[in-house]
Amino acid sequence: MESFHLVIRKTGSLTVFSTLFSEKNIFHRSFTISLPFYKKRKTEYENIDRPKYGNLIHYLTSGKDRSDRSKLFEEDNAGCQHKRPAHKTETKLLKHWIPLMNPRKTSQHQKFHQGLPLQIALQKNNWASVTSVLHQTMPVEQAANLEKWKQRMILQLGKEGFEEYVKNTFQKGKNFHAAMEALLLTKENVIKEQKEDTSISSYVMSVKHVLQDITRVTALESAVQHEVLYYQGLIDCIAEYRGTLCVIDWKTSEKPKPFLKNTYDNPLQIAAYIGAINHDSNYDFQVNCGLLVVAYKDGSPAHSHFMSSELCSQYWNKWLLRLEEFKKKGNDNTM
- Concatenating the DSSP letter of every residue in 14-66 gives EEEEEEEE-SS-EEEEEEEEE-TT-PPPPPHHHHS-HHHHHHHHHHHTTT--G
Alpha-carbon gap, residue 299 to 203, rounded angstroms: 6
Backbone angles phi, psi at 24, to 5 degrees: -105, -25
Q: Does residue 208 have an active-site annotation?
A: no
Cβ-Cβ contacts under 8 Å for 256 (sequence gap 6 or more): 262, 296, 300, 303
- Across the chain, which distance is largest between two alpha carbons, in Å? 113
List for the chain the helix, strand, coil content (%; round to 5). 40, 25, 40
| CA–CA distances in Å: residue 202 to residues 91, 171, 195, 214 | 43, 15, 15, 20
Cβ-Cβ contacts under 8 Å for 187 (sequence gap 6 or more): 211, 214, 215, 217
If we measure between CA atoms, which residue out of 209, 205, 270, 190 comes closest to residue 236?
Answer: 270
Q: Are 56 and 130 in contact (CB under 8 A)?
A: no
Exactly one of 251, 265, 327, 332 is catalytic; name it: 251
Alpha-carbon gap, residue 309 to 326, rounded angstroms: 25
Backbone angles phi, psi at 136, to 5 degrees: -80, -10
Q: Does residue 297 have an active-site annotation?
A: no
Exactly one of 52, 76, 249, 332 is catalytic; name it: 249
- In this structure, the number of other CB atoms found within 10 A of the CB of residue 147 comes to 10
Alpha-carbon gap, residue 102 to 224, rounded angstroms: 14
If residue 167 lies in a helix (H) or strand (E), which one and from where to where?
helix 159-187
Exactly one of 76, 236, 265, 332 is catalytic; name it: 236
Q: Does residue 42 have an active-site annotation?
A: no
Which residues participate in catalysis according to the annotation?
236, 249, 251
